[in-house]
Amino acid sequence: MSNQKPWHVIYTSAHNEKKVFQQLEQLELEAYLPLYITTRVWSDRKKKVELPLFTSYVFVRSDERDYRPIIETSGVSHFVYYCGKPAVISDKEIEAIKKFLSLSEGYSVKVEVNSQVIVNKGFMAGKSGRVIKISKDKLILRIDSLDVIITAEVDRDNVDLS
């Protein structure tokens, strides 16, 4: 059994994920903010920006002694609860998110909302998911085996309709 504190999920005020992440690190707490790079287009320029993979969520290793300083951190709204207790995220799930981010850059796809798809290439090969939303270059899939909603840019050649 690991002596490390478990990962918890905290919900932040809108657009405060990066600020909360920095403040948690200043409190010497291990925090994780999954970010992805995307290109934003304005009328006069294009710029690559880093955005949170999960809007308004930051992961933090903590135990009950850490709850008060975390909840008092500017920009923190509350812990995400499951069955009446702060939700715990396994190390395996955190590593899966990190791996997903490291391997998913540069993908794109065009399918319909509610389509059930199977990823046929890459580290997510064999995983099935339902398309929740489609934007210009991205789709949001619900990957049931991970029990989270993940934003992914997926090349059409890497996805099959199931």
Which residues make up the CATH 2.30.30.30 domain(s) of the chain?
A: 106-161
For position 146, what pLDDT does the model report?
54
Right CATH number for 7-100 from 3.30.70.940, 3.60.110.10, 3.40.50.300, 3.40.50.720? 3.30.70.940
Q: Which parts of the chain sit beneath pLDDT 50?
A: 1, 108-110
For position 140, what pLDDT does the model report?
65
For position 15, what pLDDT does the model report?
92
Name the pTM for this structure.
0.64
Q: How many whole angstroms separate alpha carbon 58 and alpha carbon 10? A: 5
Q: CB under 8 Å to 59, separation ≥6 — which residues?
A: 7, 8, 9, 10, 31, 32, 33, 34, 89, 94
Which residues make up the CATH 3.30.70.940 domain(s) of the chain?
A: 7-100
Class of domain 106-161: mainly beta
